[in-house]
């Protein structure tokens, strides 16, 4: 009941504007820092507590290249926002995140002390000329813990699969290649094929969503190595290939697509024909604030059961039905002896639901657009 009330209290949009702005701004913060004390690259889960006692959790990633640090913050809808001024001085990590809200720039600053797999420090955010601070901490996500992949990783298989891509060389010829990979932890093995020629890869690894490996070739008296670096995003890899073929440096774009297996295609087809799965959408309030929400449901005949999710809070749905591709459900709560209801109604079309949400929170009728996308 406590979790339900906390969720619905947020869903009613009665939080004060400065605090709501702070919550939404800081909700972007996310995972990815330490592989070792001397290299703050990796994935991290962070958290902080706002004045009403609610804990906000998020994910961010950091990458170290020589003495340079960069990072991204991952939103719940998978959007990635670059960090600014990422620095590690001794054991002090600091960074900033800046974005536009209602025509105003909102900046969030974090300063924390690095100790092994932990970060502890302070978070400060400004909105409307008012500064807000909170205690902030983060824990490194270890690959061996079986942590879920980041939003940008896209699939539970990571780099595993058969990938196709084409390289256009200097003569204008297009070479079609196939890359077969297997990922175990952060290690990747496999081979590159062109026609009947197969060459094993070496030094394959994945760090967050960054994939890299080498392809050394010793053939017909020629030795050269191609170095692959790319970013995994679902069933695509985008990056660069650097080769020293012929004793000269050559650079090529690398855009690879994962081939879907018969099993995965069948699963996708089945899921597309029903409402079963996890659906995500962004609800925009009257004040222009955006709130990320999810719906996790299972369809059995015409009946629909599941929960609506905001952050770590889950609320069961009621009266869930799917008839002739029309999805309907309700979320209710009791307050001051009155039952308050949010009614969802939308049209199911493959991996999308489009419709409306009618709500009578706080005694007023409100209608919001409902444009949900299936994420799994």
Could you read off the pLDDT of 61-108 as tens digits, one per residue? 888 776 788 888 876 555 677 888 998 888 888 998 887 666 677 788
Q: Class for domain 2-147, per CATH?
A: mainly beta
Conformation bin of residue 38: beta by default, left when phi > 0, alpha when psi is -120 to 50: alpha
DSSP 90: T
Enter the pTM of the model.
Answer: 0.35
Average pLDDT, the chain: 77
Could you read off the pLDDT of 306-351 as tens digits, one per residue? 988 877 677 889 999 999 889 999 988 776 677 788 899 999 988 8
Closest CA to 108 of 97, 117, 120: 97
User: For residues 257 and 57, what is the distance between their CA atoms, to the nearest angstrom?
Assistant: 32
**DSSP-assigned states of every residue in 233-275:** ETTEEEEEEEE-GGGS-EEEEEEEEEPPPHHHHHHHHHHHTSS
pLDDT of 300: 87
Conformation bin of residue 146: beta by default, left when phi > 0, alpha when psi is -120 to 50: left
Could you read off the pLDDT of 188-239 as tens digits, one per residue? 999 999 877 889 999 999 988 899 999 998 877 788 899 999 999 888 999 9
Residue 18 has pLDDT above 50, yes or no: no
Q: Which residues of 1-15 are buried (b: 16+ CB within 10 A; e: fewer)?
A: eeebebbbbbbbbeb
pLDDT of 350: 87
If one compares 148 and 359, the residue with the highest pLDDT of the two is 359
At residue 1 the predicted structure's pLDDT band, cuts being 50, 70 and 90, is: very low
Fold of 265-374: Lipocalin (2.40.128)
Residue 118 has pLDDT above 60, yes or no: yes
Alpha helices for the chain (secondary structure H) = 2-11, 17-26, 262-272
Q: Are 255 and 236 in contact (CB under 8 A)?
A: yes
Same CATH fold assignment for domains 2-147 and 152-259: yes
Which architecture characterizes domain 152-259 according to CATH? Beta Barrel (2.40)
At residue 54 the predicted structure's pLDDT band, cuts being 50, 70 and 90, is: low
Residue 140 has pLDDT above 80, yes or no: yes
pLDDT of 375: 84
Q: Which residues lie closer than 8 Å to 85 by C-beta, 6 or more apart?
A: 94, 95, 96
Q: Which two tokens stand for residue 49?
A: 């507590």
Domain boundaries, the chain: 2-147, 152-259, 265-374
Which of helix, strand or coil describes residue 17? helix
Q: Which residue has the tokens 């009257």?
A: 286
Q: Which two tokens stand for residue 75?
A: 């939103």
Q: Which residues lie closer than 8 Å to 217 by C-beta, 6 or more apart?
A: 199, 223, 224, 225, 226
pLDDT of 58: 78
Which of helix, strand or coil describes residue 5? helix
């Amino acid at each position: 009941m406590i979790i339900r009330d906390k969720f619905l209290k947020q869903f009613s949009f009665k939080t004060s504007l400065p605090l709501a702005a702070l919550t939404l701004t800081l909700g972007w913060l996310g995972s990815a820092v330490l592989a070792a004390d001397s290299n703050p690259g990796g994935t991290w889960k962070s958290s902080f507590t706002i004045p009403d006692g609610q804990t906000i959790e998020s994910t961010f990633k950091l990458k170290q290249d020589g003495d340079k640090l960069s990072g991204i913050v991952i939103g719940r809808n998978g959007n990635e926002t670059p960090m600014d001024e990422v620095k590690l001085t001794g054991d002090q990590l600091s960074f900033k995140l800046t974005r536009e809200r209602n025509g105003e720039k909102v900046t969030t600053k974090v300063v924390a002390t690095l100790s092994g797999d932990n970060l502890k420090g302070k978070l400060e955010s400004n909105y409307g000329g008012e500064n807000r601070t909170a205690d902030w901490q983060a824990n490194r996500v270890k690959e061996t813990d079986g942590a879920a992949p980041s939003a940008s990783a896209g699939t539970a298989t990571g780099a595993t699969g058969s990938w196709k891509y084409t390289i256009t060389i200097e003569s204008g010829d297009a070479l079609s290649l196939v890359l077969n990979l297997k990922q175990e932890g952060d290690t990747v093995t496999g081979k590159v094929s062109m026609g009947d020629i197969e060459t094993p890869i070496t030094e394959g690894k994945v760090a967050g969503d960054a994939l890299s490996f080498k392809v050394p070739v010793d053939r017909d008296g020629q030795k050269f190595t191609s170095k692959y670096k790319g970013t995994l995003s679902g069933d695509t890899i985008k990056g660069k290939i650097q080769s020293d073929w012929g004793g000269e440096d050559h650079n090529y774009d690398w855009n690879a697509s994962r081939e879907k297996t018969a099993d995965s295609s069948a699963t996708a087809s089945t899921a597309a024909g029903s409402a079963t799965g996890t659906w995500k959408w962004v609800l925009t309030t009257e004040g222009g604030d955006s709130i990320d929400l999810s719906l996790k449901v299972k369809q059995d005949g015409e009946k629909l059961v599941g929960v609506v999710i905001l952050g770590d809070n889950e609320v069961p749905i009621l009266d869930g039905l799917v008839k002739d591709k029309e999805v309907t459900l309700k979320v209710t709560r009791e307050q001051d002896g009155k039952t308050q209801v949010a009614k969802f109604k939308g049209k199911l079309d493959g991996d999308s639901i489009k419709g409306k949400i009618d709500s009578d929170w706080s005694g007023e009728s409100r209608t919001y657009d409902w444009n949900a996308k299936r994420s799994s």
